[in-house]
Chain A
């Protein structure tokens, strides 16, 4: 991390949305891998540490595509119930206004799309949450990562 993290918040209807921007000293490709590659020991360990035995499922290459389906349980302070988030994650390469490459990671609720869906046993016990996010990785003199994230159901 080359400097502090700039954080932003705003509201829209009943939703609270947040975003951040920061500069990191690694390549945009590596940053993309860091955000998109979920099946690592580090990520799994963090989930276990924060949310204990709440479920965490990753389904890669959905229907032969580059996307993945991610199901994860998230706990909140009482009296809020634990939530289960079903999301569709995908990435793409694009060109910025300056002509340089941008890597974009998109995360949307799975229910918005018609596709093969996988549910796990006991899913009915949890309240359902939704998450929508976009990460933009700009390749500059140094990589610049920006995320816009929302938790509409929380």
Chain B
């Protein structure tokens, strides 16, 4: 009785070890994976799967490309089809109209790190 109970556990442990070893270097070498090698089979499966998913995510993570597409979509589709300005929105721009004039009248130039040549504006 004792031997039949122990056999499946030993087989699954062997399978897990084999699975962990098949994963390329750098993947699945987590703390959990370390514990898994010592015999915790569920942890080992989880760690291996997580390692694979992380590797896939890293390989397909093209955030810069997606950001560019989002901006291009704004220029090509959102801008031409934007609804007309509402009265409130016109109020927003009216309330901001004075800022540019104040900058030109009162703005004091602050030192430029790159040695920028001052323009005619500022002091």
Report which A residues bind B (CB closer than 8 A): 3-10, 12, 17, 19, 21, 29-30, 32-34, 36-37, 39-42, 45, 64-67, 88, 90, 92, 104, 106, 108, 112-115, 132-134, 136, 146, 148, 150
Contact = CB atoms under 8 A, between A and B. Distances in A.
Contacts, number: 118
A10 B102 contact: yes
List of 6 A-B pairs having minimum Cβ-Cβ separation, nearest first:
A8-B107, A4-B116, A41-B63, A33-B71, A148-B99, A40-B67
Number of contact residues on B: which range applies? 35 or more
A6 B119 contact: yes
B55 interface: no
Contacts of B86: 65
Contact of B63 (A8, A37, A45, A133): A45
Interface in B63-99: 63-64, 66-67, 70-72, 74-75, 79, 82-83, 85-86, 88-89, 91-93, 95-96, 99
A18 to B, nearest CB: 8
B90 to A, nearest CB: 8
Interface in B38-82: 63-64, 66-67, 70-72, 74-75, 79, 82
